[in-house]
Amino acid sequence: MLIAITRQVSPSINKCELTHLAHQPIDMDVVRAQHRQYEEALKSLGVEVLSLPEEADLPDSVFVEDIAIVVDEAAVITRPGADSRKPETESIAKALAPYRKLFYIQAPGTLDGGDVLTVHKDIYVGLSSRSNQAAIEQMRAFLAPFDYAVKGLKVTGCLHLKSAVTQVAADTLLVNPAWVGKDNFPDMKFIEVEPSEAYAANAVLVGKTVLYPSSYPKTRLRLEEAGIRLAIVDASELAKAEGALTCCSLIFKV
């Protein structure tokens, strides 16, 4: 059984942190409707959704992925790279505590979950403006007893590693090679994004179906031609907050 922890959109989302994007007004009615569609899409794929209430004073709090790394044996509560996001950890830790043993990243480590890609027993961590080497070393110590290999790699041009690469099948990654090198992922197959759709590499693999945004039709065609089964959702307003589909849930087995 799969559970997805989500959180309702904060009414202050227009004050969100932005690094690589210019501010655009976010329509509250539309962004909430898109988030509901996202949750319904997860439910349609057999995922039980645990939806947490909005955090009015935490603009980025809908992006729960950044607050924890969940593997089968444990969960790591992050220490977000943006100071405004550090208070988000308390409620996520409380939600995860019934399901996993918790570890906590401590200063000077900083880590956003959007920088963490887990492929089987390999955990790739993007060295970005939000995540640093100290956090990687702590993760390595936490997860080594469970036989995970934690590897840091450089990301350029985007906020998080999973802006540049995500898993779309057991042996296949969707990648923007301009932002992260394919040589970091040995023994994997690749589907490259359409070059004109730089942000198209973020997708959510649920079982054998990939949840994918409607904004990238050319990359969508590449996925379909590769035999990837897709469920399409609109996340255009969430994207204005520099968020993507993986950002909006923590999915794990129980």
- Residues pairing with 38 in the sheet: none
The span from the CA of 117 to the CA of 125, in Å, is 7
The span from the CA of 58 to the CA of 233, in Å, is 25
Q: What share of the chain is helix, strand, coil (3-state, %, to 5)?
A: 30, 25, 40
* Secondary structure of residue 163 in the 3-state scheme: helix
* Catalytic residue status for 16: no
The span from the CA of 226 to the CA of 210, in Å, is 12
Q: Give me the catalytic one of 16, 35, 160, 248.
A: 160
225 backbone dihedrals φ, ψ, rounded to 5°: -65, -25
The span from the CA of 40 to the CA of 38, in Å, is 5
User: How many Cβ atoms from other residues are within 10 Å of residue 212's Cβ?
Assistant: 28
Cis link prior to 108 (omega < 30° from 0)? Answer: yes
The span from the CA of 91 to the CA of 139, in Å, is 21
- Angle 58-123-236 from CA coordinates, rounded to 5°: 40
* Catalytic residue status for 120: no
Q: Give me the catalytic one of 16, 35, 158, 247.
A: 247
The amino acid sitting at 244 is: A
**Which positions are annotated as active-site residues?**
160, 247
